[in-house]
A and B are shown apart, each in its own frame.
Chain A
């Protein structure tokens, strides 16, 4: 089914190391107004065959993280420091050509909106074939056959004919499938899906997610799913990373984070989400305030200006000292564990139902 062959020269990855390991990643953009610290010391690991969800508001740094993994940031205005180890290879340290060889091949990305992410000027088939030809050296004919195969695999009916269609001739869901086909054409080991279903109808969303899951099982890829939709996250991911103002503020398995959230920001995210079991007329609780400026982040805990529980912390610690995120399961918050538990049980849990 696949003609992709791995060369033996690639050093065998250390079994103990995770497939993707991001260590103290910092992504800073220099702008006319100053330096924007879009990602500021982010670390996480991802195993093969696993799915990591990253949630957070717009501007929390989740998309930037993924673009910098792919090396798609603007090299002139962006500095990336830290380590991005993919299969033992540090991506911050390889040449543009090497990255090009990896992109679309070993790692691929699914964009939020296939309408804008597929070029309107070329047929779907051509856009799927392109990376395949480039990465495998396949001929046009082979690549076309592969494109048809991939379209079939992602559930496009009559792929033989639709392969010559242009993206605008596809429906929204079909386009998204086509883009998934384009991303998966070289059997990537790492798949980054940036809000892959946001632009779609709810029914189609489920189909797409199912498709991704099936494909993951087939190829054994690692997936990073970026979303702000916690409903999607619950059914799909293994681990969850909550980001706020360029940093991870809570981490754990999806169960842990959703059932026992520890960070007030996570509480806020969960509370602002409608659920079927809630009473009609019950108010959603949006997080007050707006996301902080990344040019000039607040001192101490970046969330403190919006945090309802900051005064529960003694000595105004929240305003001048940044809480650290412990390794493994945990949250970056100064609230002592007992108070946290108390607040969660009294105020948050009832709302989550």
Chain B
């Protein structure tokens, strides 16, 4: 296991380096000059040159990349002050330390993702298991068709509908907003309640369908039947034998969805006007804000890689065959 983790960590660092390099050099392949956004009204070539110098864009691209990498490991000095490692630089647009900006936005995106995750895992897997256990009955049909309908919805459709119904027309709930959990637990909870529900409705549907079908598949497995043949009770076999097996495909999809959940945070954050990593990502790209783009990319990639390692480790927890091979 330790060796596995070391191997994965090494791979992750390499991947992050490649992502950084590709992002960095691709950024310069875009035929748009970030300096234009800081160049006022009558932007002459002279004025641009000044900005290039300010932003460090006058140096050759490989040198800029080298400076960036040095900053990541050793920190760098900027006009607005020293930037400690890991230093992803200072935003072109806001002059803020990129790393601090990301850390500032991260709790929201994390809360959004994890909260949604908890809701849709509990509801989705639960509903799927009930449907599988009652396969062919009315309950199953209601659950299955409801999940089919719900899974075809999108956040940017469902979000405004929910807002319109529960916020703008009736005022039953407050508009979603970000309150750090350290400030007020109830404010944090109420502020994110609608986004959680909307995210989870959409993901729940998928997990209901998936959990139902993998459970049904697992219930037909020979070892499940063998366990029944041993005289183990239906519920024991259901939860110990079938459910454990059904977790593997669910964890696999979850691994991908966690990335999507993070990426999907873009849509969620825009739909509900929440300032998270997703919004930061879009903003940084629009502003041609290289340091911020790099920071967000590397951070998100690191997070997705971390999720991948967690998923792989979870496989090992679930399935001893993975653990030992």
Contacts and interface: CB of A to CB of B under 8 A. Distances in A.
B222 A113 contact: yes
B226 A109 contact: yes
Interface string B135-162: 0100000000000000000000000000
Given A101-B231, A130-B232, A131-B232, A118 B324 contact: no
Interface stretch (B25-33, B58-66, B180-188, B313-321): B313-321
Q: How large is the interface on B (under 10, 10 to 19, 20 to 34, 35 or more residues)?
A: 20 to 34
Given A121-B320, A166-B321, A166-B324, A134 B226 contact: no
A168 interface: yes
A104 B231 contact: yes
A120 B227 CA distance: 12
A117 B222 contact: yes
B277 to A, nearest CB: 36
A85 to B, nearest CB: 20
A116 interface: yes
Contacts of A104: 229-232
B215 to A, nearest CB: 15
B82 interface: no
Contacts of B223: 116-120
A121 B324 contact: no
Contacts of B244: 119, 121
Contacts of B224: 119
Contact of A116 (B222, B234, B318, B321): B222
A135 B231 contact: yes
Interface in A159-197: 166, 168-169, 179, 182-183
Interface in A12-71: 70
B319 A70 contact: no
Contacts of B234: 96
A76 interface: yes
Interface in A95-125: 96, 100-105, 108-109, 111, 113, 116-122
Contacts of A72: 225, 228-229
Q: Which of B228, B240, B241, B321 has the most CB of A within 10 A?
A: B228
Contacts, number: 81
Contacts of A179: 226
A108 B229 contact: yes
Contacts of B227: 119, 127, 130
Contact of B231 (A102, A113, A117, A121): A102
Nearest to A166: B320
A188 B221 CA distance: 24
Contacts of B231: 100-105, 131, 134-135
B245 interface: yes
B41 to A, nearest CB: 68
A183 B226 CA distance: 9
A72 B230 CA distance: 11
A120 B320 contact: yes
Contacts of B321: 120, 166, 168
Given A72-B228, A101-B231, A108-B230, A120 B222 contact: no
A135 B233 CA distance: 11
A129 to B, nearest CB: 10
Contacts of A109: 226, 229
Contacts of A113: 222
A130 B319 CA distance: 19
A103 B320 contact: no
A169 B325 CA distance: 10
Interface in B230-253: 230-234, 240-241, 244-245
Interface string B296-325: 000000000000000000000011110010
Given A102-B231, A119-B226, A131-B231, 4 more contacts: A77-B136, A109-B229, A127-B227, A182-B226
15 contacts: A77-B136, A101-B231, A108-B229, A109-B226, A113-B222, A118-B226, A119-B245, A120-B321, A121-B245, A121-B318, A121-B319, A122-B240, A130-B227, A130-B232, A182-B226
Interface of A: 70, 72, 76-77, 96, 100-105, 108-109, 111, 113, 116-122, 127, 130-131, 134-135, 166, 168-169, 179, 182-183
